[in-house]
A and B are shown apart, each in its own frame.
Chain A
Amino acid sequence: MKVMTCPVNGPRPVSEFAYAGELREMPEPGAASDAEWAAYVFNRNGVAGIKREWWCHTPSGVWFIAVRDTVDDVVLKTHLFGQGGDAE
């Protein structure tokens, strides 16, 4: 079983965590065309590589961002939302 590091609670077994998809930028609803909006709602990028993902440490309810290389399933970094530098 993998270990994941919660930015608040430290390293814990991955069974304590829930995954909620990639961190995605929502287009401005009023400005987006129907096609742009549909692309945001329905399309996901499945190409393996370095992803920024939403994860939750479920016993404590801490949501955070994990930077994960999905090629070899290595979590490179975890941080609280908004504290990961300029990439957000």
Chain B
Amino acid sequence: MKRLPPVEGEGIDRAAPLEFSFEGRRLTGFKGDTICSALAAHGVTVVGRSFKYHRPRGLFSVANHDVNAMFQVEQRGRSIPNVRGDVAPLRAGMKVAAVNTAGGLETDRMAGMERLARFLPVGFYYKAFHGRWFPKWERLIRRAAGLGVVDKANRAFTTPKRYAHTDVLVIGGGPSGLAAAHEAAERGAGVILADEWGELGGSALYARGGASVDESVRRLADIVIAHRGVRVLSSTFAAGYYADHWVSLVGPENLTKVRARAVVVAQGAIEQPAVFRGNDLPGVMLASGAQRLLSRYAVAPASRVVIITANAEGYAAALDAFHHGITVAGVLDLRERSHPSESGLTGAIRDRGIVVFHGVKPVEARADSEGHVRELEFDVEVSKDRSARHYLAADGVWMSVGFAPANALLQQAGAKMRYETAIEQFVPSQLPAGVFACGRVAGAYELSDRVAQGREAGRLAAAHAARSVGAMPETEGAETLRKLQSLVFTPRGSPSHPFPVFPHPKGQEFIDLDEDLHLSDLINAFQEGFDSSELLKRYSTVGMGPSQGKHSNLNAMRVLAKLREESVEAVGPTTARPMFHPVSLAHLAGRGFHPHRRTSLHDEHEKLGAVWMPAGDWQRPEYYARSGETRMAGIEAEVRAVRTGVGLIDVGTLGKIEAHGPIAGEFLGRVYTGQFGALKVGATRYGLALDEAGVIVDDGVIARLGKERFYFTTTTGNSGSLFRELGRLATMWRMPVGLVNLTGHFAAFNLAGPLSRAVLSQLTHVDLSHAAFPYLGVREAEVAGVRCRLMRVGFVGEMGYEIHLPAVDAIHVWSAVMRAGERFGIRAFGVEAQRVLRLEKGHVIVGQDTDGLTTPLEIGAEWALRMNKPFFIGQRSLQALQRLPQRQRLVGFTLPAGSVRPKECHLVIESGRIAGRVTSIQHSPTLGHAIGLAFVEPPIAQRGSFRIRVERGEEVSATVASLPFYDAPGERQTLDEDLAERTEMLA
């Protein structure tokens, strides 16, 4: 191998040499080289070791399918595994090493693996990986067969995602894709053209037939690049097609997600190898790969080649080799004669004195002492039953025997395929609406046909894009296809050979270079009964390596079809799922993005030493830490402040919703179990919401601010979903109700404790006396100069006011309340103290003391039900449940002094079986002992005692206690005014 003198259109910059190293050797390439082209220019023929047998391997496709040219690349302090050297650009200072070797590429200690081949039969994993030997096998296999090594010291780097919208997305910048992009843009469509190479032109750039690049393709590429309607994304491949023309494009740095109105797939075809003994030797490669090296990188991968062919493309490759000064030892045509349309090519071959053999059957490629190919042995048919054996010395064997359409994205989009025997290839038989195919993927091989079909696809795509406004389906797939296929192609020979597979008595005909599978492996798998394409694939692992079968699936299918004595179409194409090429995880990984919600008082809590806890999406103060005070002591002090003085808690995380309209009350009466049509203006009522099965889903306080205006709260976690569901109910019931979600707009805090009125009275002119503003009342009034909604509620079991106000004024009013409360010893309290306080009062928390099966009948909330209403959600189910025996009942319980304290969710055990569970448990500072809530079976509730299993299987006994634990008569809410005043004065 050597670097050629300058080649027309070469992609390297000879003025910009780049130093790099390969397996410790210092080498120089040029800017524009790939790792592999730079290696080839230095005569490096062995670039990797095979996956299973550690055979030396060389360049093969030079098209991002070379699984044996994968490297561990160290650059700028970062070590990246599995870099595809056939396409990865060379950079200065790269340290390149082969993957999957033990002790280096040339002295791989695993090179003897092949002698073990007969002990590693097909399906080896399934046969060997059993029982207690599994971990041993796994370790052994992981060492012997693998790819690169992830460097855990690498720092993570982020690759921002991009989004794009376009009328027409054209995938593939070969002649047909260029024509499609041009035609669509000329018709006014916005076009994105994505091409995986650095330069537009596709195979026209390298498959030149010994001449220059076709001038019309060059011109078309220039026009497309300059066209205002086309955005060209080069070095970018389409990784997958997702619903409704949503395509992921992978560029060198970014992933771009494109939404298109129409997609043109012009991805071409992937050249396929012939299967014969020694077809994996370094030096044996696809003709298209050799042509890429010649034209793009000015590298001659051999000095003397034989070309195995079955199509016009192989003759053109021979002319390219000759043009660049490579001796063509022979063109070996598998066919008995070439197609009449190839006379121009065959004439040119003859003129150059190149020998052509017809009716060739490759027998074996042989290697020299370094493993590189040195000779091809083949048979030539002389008569019907006689053939002559030939040998040709060569350091390069190029194969041009056929193609597989790159139709993965078409299939992902839902296109159906049929096998066209005239070209021995799958072509689309049905296209989804808005998806178009052109060029070699659609069966057009002659340049003029590719361009004509591309133009037609571009025209149809632009028309579709102009028509389609939404994603509503259209039934135009069949019509589209008729138009695309009604073009009459130029007569030519089949580009693909129907069965380029040549068994050898000694085996080693490689059918899958990724997975080191021989022809015999497939035959054995078939004979073991894995005789359908999906079974064969999984059992033998054919097509499951890093190239995902791009060079093996078609031949495997042809072998299977032959074994089954069926057509290739009957065996069927396998679907290639995304990604089309491997995509680095860095491209796919998103940033860690978990938004937290903060209330408008967040900074105030921070100043007060809040210790944060998550509550749904929200961050809430669990308690406020003070120096020299433990967590427990702090929580108890907060509880004491509320019970004996005054406390303030931020409840801004509650859902806050307004309902407007003449029938708003009636509407709420259908949603909640209580009666709201009759609720007086200025009053609030507890609201309990059920689902259709009668299960509790939410609760809150509903306030009537005006005749046609309600304001109500929901639990923190449910505000979004409940609000949404209210919208659906209003729609379904055809009830015109205005619903406004004020959750984020409003702040709320609860001023609670016997001294709460004393604090509030300093900040407002509203009459706070019991007569004027009784328990469960609601008033709109100014507090510290801000108009607020005041609700007298008692969740924590003390006199208190929930103050709701626009979030923008929250800090002002909160601070005013804290200042006014200073002389009363006011203390901010957190979620944990509130949990203790409400538990002392026996109030349940929906979602903690209830679960997805709990009805109001089980938690003693019958008082909240108006069963005689015409309708509320869950009413009919409750009527049925009332007639059934109760499943469980929520009870309060206490523990004997000194008992081990159970935890929430510890089980109630009755005669060895589960009979309930603890839902809440706390130490009550007010009462001086532990209190809890538990679900138990009704007979247990009646009996009055039960046992709870705690950690390590121990059991503790619990005694049923009547609820609430604290202030059973509810006197704290209507605290005698004189008492209140006396307390205030004392403070």
Chain A residues with CB under 8 Å of chain B are 1-5, 10-11, 13, 18, 20, 29, 32, 34, 37-38, 40-42, 54, 56, 58, 61, 63, 73-77, 81-82
Contact = CB atoms under 8 A, between A and B. Distances in A.
B721 to A, nearest CB: 9
Contacts of A58: 724
A29 B728 contact: no
Contacts of A20: 725, 728
B728 A54 contact: yes
A52 to B, nearest CB: 13
A2 B731 CA distance: 25
B740 to A, nearest CB: 10
Given A29-B875, A32-B876, A63-B731, A1 B724 contact: no
12 contacts: A3-B243, A5-B470, A13-B259, A29-B876, A32-B876, A34-B880, A40-B692, A41-B877, A42-B693, A56-B724, A61-B727, A81-B732
B391 interface: no
Interface of B: 242-244, 246, 257, 259, 469-473, 692-693, 724-725, 727-728, 731-732, 734, 871, 875-877, 880
Contact of B728 (A13, A34, A63, A74): A63
A76 B473 CA distance: 7
B168 to A, nearest CB: 16
Contacts of B876: 29, 32, 37
Nearest to A33: B880
Contacts of B470: 3, 5, 10-11
B692 A41 contact: yes
A81 B259 CA distance: 29
B692 A2 contact: no
A1 B693 contact: no
Q: Kindly name the residue among A18, A20, A56, A63 whose own CB sees the greatest number of chain B CB atoms within 10 A.
A: A63
- Among A2, A13, A41, A82, max chain B CB count under 10 A is at A41
Nearest to A73: B243
A1 B243 contact: yes
A1 B248 CA distance: 10
Nearest to A5: B470
Contacts of A2: 243-244, 246, 471
A81 B731 contact: yes
Chain A CB within 10 Å, residue with most, of B246, B471, B473, B734: B471
A3 B470 CA distance: 8
Nearest to B472: A5
Contacts of B469: 10-11
Contacts of A81: 731-732
Nearest to B874: A41
A29 B469 CA distance: 43
A58 to B, nearest CB: 7
Contacts of A75: 471-473
A1 B471 contact: no
A74 B473 contact: yes
B734 A82 contact: yes
Contacts, number: 64
Contacts of A10: 469-470
B938 to A, nearest CB: 21
Contacts of B728: 20, 54, 56, 63
Nearest to A2: B243
Contacts of A38: 880
Contacts of A42: 693
A29 B259 CA distance: 47
Contact of A56 (B242, B243, B727): B727
A33 to B, nearest CB: 9
A5 B470 CA distance: 6
Contact of A18 (B244, B473, B693, B724): B724
Contacts of B243: 1-3, 73
Nearest to A75: B471
Contacts of A13: 259
Contacts of A41: 692-693, 877
A61 B471 contact: no
B537 to A, nearest CB: 25
A73 B243 CA distance: 10
Contacts of B242: 1
B471 A4 contact: yes
Contacts of B473: 74-76
A7 B242 CA distance: 23
A25 B447 CA distance: 61
A13 B259 CA distance: 10
A61 B244 contact: no
A77 B724 CA distance: 22
Contact of B244 (A1, A76, A82): A1
A20 B692 CA distance: 14
Nearest to B883: A34
A8 B955 CA distance: 60
Contacts of A18: 724
Contacts of A1: 242-244, 246, 257
Contacts of A5: 470-472
A18 B724 CA distance: 9
A2 B242 CA distance: 8
A47 B244 CA distance: 24
The 5 A-B residue pairs whose C-beta atoms are closest, nearest first, are A3-B471, A29-B876, A11-B470, A2-B243, A5-B470
A74 B724 CA distance: 25
Nearest to A38: B880
Nearest to A56: B724
A77 B244 contact: no
A86 B824 CA distance: 67
A61 B729 CA distance: 12
Nearest to A18: B724
B693 A63 contact: no
A59 B403 CA distance: 49
A64 to B, nearest CB: 8
Nearest to B473: A74
Contacts of A77: 472
A11 B471 contact: yes
A5 to B, nearest CB: 4
Nearest to A32: B876
A3 B244 contact: yes
Contacts of B246: 1-3
A87 to B, nearest CB: 15
A74 B470 CA distance: 13
B669 to A, nearest CB: 15
Nearest to A28: B876
Contacts of A61: 724, 727
Contacts of A32: 876
Nearest to B871: A29
Contacts of B693: 41-42
A1 B244 CA distance: 7
A56 B259 CA distance: 22
A1 B875 CA distance: 40
A21 to B, nearest CB: 10
A37 B693 CA distance: 9
B510 to A, nearest CB: 39
Nearest to A69: B473
Nearest to B725: A20
Given A2-B243, A56-B727, 20 more contacts: A1-B242, A1-B257, A2-B246, A3-B246, A3-B471, A4-B471, A5-B471, A10-B469, A10-B470, A11-B471, A20-B725, A20-B728, A29-B871, A56-B724, A56-B728, A63-B731, A63-B732, A76-B473, A81-B732, A82-B734
Contacts of A29: 871, 875-876
Contacts of B727: 56, 61, 63
A9 B629 CA distance: 56
A11 B875 CA distance: 38
Contacts of B734: 82
Contacts of B875: 29
A27 B229 CA distance: 57
Contacts of A3: 243-244, 246, 259, 470-471
A59 B490 CA distance: 54
A81 B724 CA distance: 15
B871 A37 contact: no
